[in-house]
Amino acid sequence: MNNSNKVCSAIRTLKSTAEFFFSGEIITEEDFNKIEWVIGVKADGITATHTTTNPHSELTWTKVKAEMDKL
């Protein structure tokens, strides 16, 4: 399993409803803090609004990394 798949799997294990996207590798906490978290939909009903401020307290780098290490 590649790194990107591990990140996605770990996040989904911890919070199955989390919506997010990223590019590149997530190897460090600094990388993790660059994940774009979907926080809503714009008035057009199509375009997502997103932020790099993680809105999910249960998704910390420490917890995500621990799940990744299990894979």
Taking the complete model, does pTM exceed 0.85, yes or no? yes
Distances in Å between the alpha carbon of 6 and those of 10, 29, 30, 32, 35? 6, 15, 17, 13, 14
Task: Give the pLDDT score at 30.
Answer: 97
44 three-state secondary structure: coil
Q: Which domain holds residue 13?
A: 3-70
The tens place of each residue's pLDDT in the chain, 71 residues long, gives 899 999 999 999 999 999 999 999 999 999 999 999 999 999 998 999 999 999 999 999 999 999 999 99
Structural domain count of the chain: 1
